[in-house]
Amino acid sequence: MIEMQIAERTFQMWDYHSSHSQLLLRSPKRPGITTNIDIKFFGVAYLNIPTIIRGCAIGEATAAEIEQIDSLLPNRADVNRVFIISSAGNRYPIVAVNYKISENTLDIFQTILDRYDA
């Protein structure tokens, strides 16, 4: 189960595409671990996270956290949800439409984010 694995892996802010408002957090494969775990956020409007996150869980924000985000983003669209990444007793907000967790064997230079190719 991938949700269990994200609690045990270290994630990095791997890629961000402003043209699609997409964020990729990746726990890269390494010796002894044959797959990457990617967390892709869609429609990102705001984030306040460190570049490295050791072990995490993703959940919904509390009413107080939503109120705080709404004070920072008074015109936040209803479609944008406030997700919280919890790690080591800290809570980091990401305002986005949704997210998806996937597993893959991509090279470190490859991304799962959508691109406009010229």
**Which residue from 118, 90, 116, 6 is spatially nearest to 56, judged by alpha carbons?**
6
Q: Higher confidence at residue 46 or residue 77?
A: 46
Compute the average pLDDT of residues 12-16: 96
pLDDT at 100 over 90: yes
Give the residue, 6 or 93, on which the prediction is more confident.
Answer: 93
- Over residues 62-97, the pLDDT tens digits come to 999 999 999 999 998 888 999 999 999 999 999 999
Q: Is the pLDDT of residue 3 over 70?
A: no
Q: What is the pLDDT of residue 116?
A: 60
Sequence ranges of the domains in the chain: 2-104
* CB-count burial class (<10 Å; 0-12, 13-18, 19+) for 87: buried
Q: Is the pTM of this model over 0.75?
A: yes
Task: List residues bridging with 94 in a β-sheet.
Answer: 47, 83
E strand map for the chain: 10-17, 22-27, 36-42, 46-47, 52-54, 57-60, 81-87, 90-96, 98-104
| Backbone φ and ψ of 33, nearest 5° | -125, 115
pLDDT-derived band of residue 106, with 50, 70 and 90 as boundaries?
very high
